[in-house]
Structure formats: C-alpha cells, structure tokens
Amino acid sequence: MLKRKVFDELLAWKKAKEKKCLVVQGARQVGKTYAIEVFGRENYEEVVSLNFKEMPSASSIFFFFLYVETLVLALRFQFPDKKITPGKTLIFLDEIQECEEAVTSLKFWAIDNRYDVIASGSMLGIDYKRAVSYPVGYVNYIQMYGLDFEEFLWSQNISEDMIASLKKMYTEKIVVPEAVHQQMMNAFRNYIALGGMPEVVQQFVSTGDFRDADRVQRELLKGYLYDIAHYASAEEKIKAEKCFLSLTKQLLDKDNHKFQYKEVEKGAGAQKYYSSIDWLRRADIVRICHNVSDVHYDLEDYERKDNFRVYTTDLSLLIAMKEFSLKEQIVRNTFLGNTKGGIYECALADVLLKKEYAIYFYKNESIKKEVDFLIQKEGRVVPIEVKSGRSRAASLNQLMKKNPEIPLAYKFIDGNVGDMENGIISMPLYMAMFL
C-alpha cells in the first residue's frame, strides 16, 4: 500500500470536535476513493460506500426527502448488513457530482452532526450538474493530488531518517554527499518520468519496469480524454481536448512557455479557446500560472489575465502525451535543449502546485527578463528560477538588486547545494520538496 499524506488530514478531520461533512476534491485517479476506503476500514467499525457512477440506482435514496433519519433508514434498506451507528460508521458518497440531491444532502448531514460523512468526486468544479442548494458553510475541503516527490520517495523505500537528513542539509545549506546527491537526482528524474498517479507508481513499484508504467500512464490519459468528452458541453468538447493535447508543444517543444492559441489552431485566439482552458482548470485537469506586471505583494493584483502558462495537474499526463523515448531520455539524463529546461520547469510547477502554492511568473518582453516562478509566503514574494545546468540566473540577479524588499530567492539546479549570492540560494532540484 502506498503511504499518502492525506491519511493524516483525514484523521485530523475525524478527531475534530466540531467537524462538518468532508469533501475530498481532486482529478480522476489520484487515489481519492482508495485513500478514503482504507481510512474508513482502519478507523471505523463499518463503511457504507455509495458510488453514484457505478451504482446510479443509489441516487433514488436522495430523490424525495433529505431528512437524516429518512436517509439512514433508506441506507439500511440498501445495505441490510450495516448497522449505520453514529460515530462508528463512515458514510462515503463517492462520485457525488453524479447526484445533485446527494450534494444538497451534505447540509443536512452537517446540521444533524451525528454521522461522519465524506463525499468525493473528480468533476466537482464544473457546471455539469449544479446542486439546487450547494452546502456552502457546511463542509470542510481537502484537495487531493497524485503523489508528491516525498511520497514517491517513500514508495522507493527511502527512509524518513534519510529525508530528514536531507531537510537538515537544505535548512543549513550543507553540500549533499555526492553519492547521496546522485541517488536523489536519479530518483527525481524517475519521478518526472513516472509522475505521481498512484496506479502508475504502484505498477513501477511492483515490476520496476518503465514500459509497464508507461502503459498505465497512457490508459490514464485516455481516461482523462474520455472525461472531457463525457462531461464537457458539446460546444467545449473538441476545443478542450485540443487545448489539453497542445500542452507538450506549449511547454516542451518551444523556448517560450507562454500558452499560445496558435499552437492549438492557426489563427485562433482567446475568444474561441479561453473558455476551454477555464473548463480544464475547473475540472482539475490543468493549473494556470499567470504572468505578473510587477513583483510586489500581493501578486494577484498584478496578474496579466491574457498572459499565462498552463500546466497539467500531474506529470504523468504530460509525459504520456510524448513517445516512450522521452521517458528513456529523462531517466538516462540524455535529454537536451528546450525539452530539458521545459521538463524541469514542469517538475518544479508540479512540486509547487502539490504544495498548494498559487504560482506566477515574471516576464518583461521589453527588457528581455524572465523569472520562472513567483510564490508568496508569509506576506512576501519568493522568486524561483529553474536551471537545467549550473548557469547564472541573470534575470533573477537583476530582480533581487532592483527589489531589496525581497529577502531571498531560490535557484533550483541540476547540481549540488551552492553558496548564497545576492540573496539567491542554489539548491538541487529535488530539494524543492522542502519549500
């Protein structure tokens, strides 16, 4: 069983004195159902699980009355072997977006407050079905992603002590012993090639074969394309798929990683395709990283709405769009040029997004200066540059000199820990997990 951080979040929710219903959001196949069912088995006497996609008839339980007593009675008829006892039973409403009445019922479960209820779904952010009364104020939320790099290390039997030692080197800016550094860079490249989808990682853990993992990746990609075809409106289906499949061109095949509509369709623009990008974002398939006109807090105030990059919510999806040969090049560290820089940039975006940072970038076309990422921490802007080698970050250096209120910046490199210079800390790529 893959160890996931979400188990700690679920347990914290269970122990809360005044908890509401819990909604676990996230893209398809990131492990929501598996994690919740394992959590339920380990922490409750019984689990009542309704998957509205696999069992559409279960929706009838919620069609007439949403009084908790009525719902519990109906569940007991549906599951005669379950006692459904307050505090001892977990009620799990999976793929809840398929039953808008079940979404509405979360308000009544929360007001009653006797039963522990978790809902989950992979398309909760889109307007495919909007509940008549969405339970704002009656639910807690957890956003779930594929495995982050630290979770991936756990799957590779890298011990907690080893990770703690690396974190100490990160904090104290100590050079990592070369053998350890090479091992960690290899692990990071493996993670880039595989991504964090649990089924892909589990396949690799089981067989150690990248080709087996690649087959799983491609099946998952087909599943995402199916979801676009199934859930998007007739007007958006083809456009959303074309935008999604253009991401390798946008991020790996050219030097400028700004999303360009001409890569989707020659002569097309925002008027035709922006709504499709927004649909993919709401469906948890992509994340958007806006350019900013300045680097002051709060960055949202400086967003350029028409200038952005688009990243997949997991590296598995991006890598699966390319030939298997790219995976080989990543693992063997033989990839070069725009592709190498683009892949490392996407890997850092993956790390930051799974830490739930809002990410931005800075690019000034007139003076030809660009900083890969900007995040905000404790009311301050933190610039981040990604380098596929050890080259100097001229734009980052200039930005730090012009903005003395920014105390530090990070340069993540394909190299070891370096000295701090002009407030810029050089760190190996894999240490981004400690940000």
- Tens of pLDDT, residues 144-198: 999 999 999 999 999 999 999 999 999 999 999 999 999 999 999 999 999 999 9
Mean pLDDT for the stretch of residues 31-48: 97
**pLDDT for residue 125:** 81
Q: Quote the pTM value.
A: 0.94
Confidence of residue 133 (pLDDT cuts 50, 70, 90): low
**pLDDT for residue 371:** 96
Confidence of residue 17 (pLDDT cuts 50, 70, 90): confident
Nearest to 431 by CA among 148, 184, 152: 184
**pLDDT for residue 249:** 95
**pLDDT for residue 126:** 77
Within 8 A by CB and 6+ apart from 166, the residues are 176, 180, 184, 430, 431, 434
**pLDDT for residue 435:** 93
CATH class of 6-143: alpha beta
- Indicate if the alpha-carbon torsion angle 396, 351, 22, 129 is positive or negative: positive
Domain residue ranges of the chain, discontinuous segments joined by +:
6-143, 149-434
- Tokens 């598995």: give the residue: 316
339 has pLDDT over 70: yes
Nearest to 144 by CA among 256, 15, 39: 39
372 has pLDDT over 70: yes
**pLDDT for residue 130:** 54
**pLDDT for residue 19:** 87
Confidence of residue 124 (pLDDT cuts 50, 70, 90): confident
Whole-angstrom distance, CA of residue 375 vs CA of residue 348: 12
Whole-angstrom distance, CA of residue 261 vs CA of residue 339: 20
215 has pLDDT over 70: yes
